[in-house]
Amino acid sequence: MERDILTTLAQIRHPFLIRLHHAFQSADQLFLVLDYHRGGDMATQLAKFHTFSPERCRLYAAEILLGLQELHSLGILYRDLKPENILLAADGHIVLTDFGLSRQFPSAENMDDKRTRTFCGTAEYLAPEILRSEPYTYAVDFWSLGTILYEMVEGTPPFYETAHAEMYRRIMEDDLEFTPAFDPITRDFIKGLLRKPSSQRLGTGPNGPTLIRSHPYFAGLDWSDVYHKRIRPEYVPQLRSETDLSNFDRDFLVMTPRLSPVSNPDIYSDAVQEVFQGYSYINDSSNFTYSLISGDDNDEDDDDDIIRLDGDRRRSVGIYSDDYSGSDIRPDDFHPGSRDDEGFSTVTPPHHHPYPQTLF
């Protein structure tokens, strides 16, 4: 499922969704070659700064929203939106990654009619309907967005408890509470995203995309500018090289790179191998190639060393849109603003006061 989702996304090359270059396999390993984004992830940024400014929160929320709406338009339910899965690119814009828990429905038609029941996700960002084991749909992703925006403003998720059982109870039963860190417009927006009845949640329903992007929280924002990354991010990572690792948590950097261990090669029967027919993929729009041949270059017969690319080779059709993809709001006519000499938007956000530092 993850491979199929990534190949779907590779064909559209959305600015806020990770891009797959290659998928291939050996006799007992599966490989995905993805973009490397040097800015680290949002979880590391929250650990470093604790909270973000109103302008930073708003731009991140807008970019995440466009990524989610693109996924939903393709019939993809994300299910694991969390700070660890929100990367920062070298230019400071966000990229959503990790679709290992995602579900792709056969068709994107009648989006709110597509439902599943699998209990999965990350504890702090689970929607009430998942915890109640009810059938759920794309509304769970908007709940996760509301939880993350709350965390960006306050420094902690809204219903957080160290004991998962108590946190789950709070998600399902407790009222949403706000500190003075939240201005009225931000409070109203988050309340809309964190409505416990999923049918009432902001972003859902036939007019959901229009209503959520028209919320006063995004007033003055040109959605075409957001999509084309013409709004200068407040934070841009300081990078020393193409392979700079300084923006990643040290816990990851000290880990030894290794392939997943193969406990018993005998389990990879012909029937198991058939499941992965068609797994291999080459993105024709990728601008790099590399050898899939391992072993001694002096071997007379390299056939045994080649990682084979058998099966269906689905290729990217190389779609590059000059307009905001799938927009039902005319971006250039909605809250138009001016731009500076470098082409960045100069629209002033509706929030001007600094948030007080949250103390624990």
Catalytic positions, written as ranges: 80
Q: Are 10 and 283 in contact (CB under 8 A)?
A: yes
Sign of CA dihedral 222, 85, 128, 355: negative
Residue 324's nearest CA partner among 214, 225, 209 is 225
In 3D space, the residue among 138, 147, 152, 146 whose CA is nearest the CA of residue 70 turns out to be 138
> CA 50, 52, 57 angle in degrees (round to 5)?
140
Structure tokens at 241: 């090289």
| E strand map for 184-335 | 281-282, 314-315
In the structure encoding, which two tokens stand for residue 225, read together? 């500018």
> Does residue 28 contact residue 279 with C-beta atoms inside 8 Å?
no
Q: Across the beta sheet with 314-315, what order do the strands follow?
A: 30-34, 20-25, 281-282, 314-315
Nearest residue to 105 (alpha-carbon basis) of 67, 74, 141, 136: 74
Which backbone phi and psi does 33 adopt, to 5 degrees?
-105, 115
**What residues contact 28, with CB distance under 8 A and at least 6 apart?**
262, 265, 268
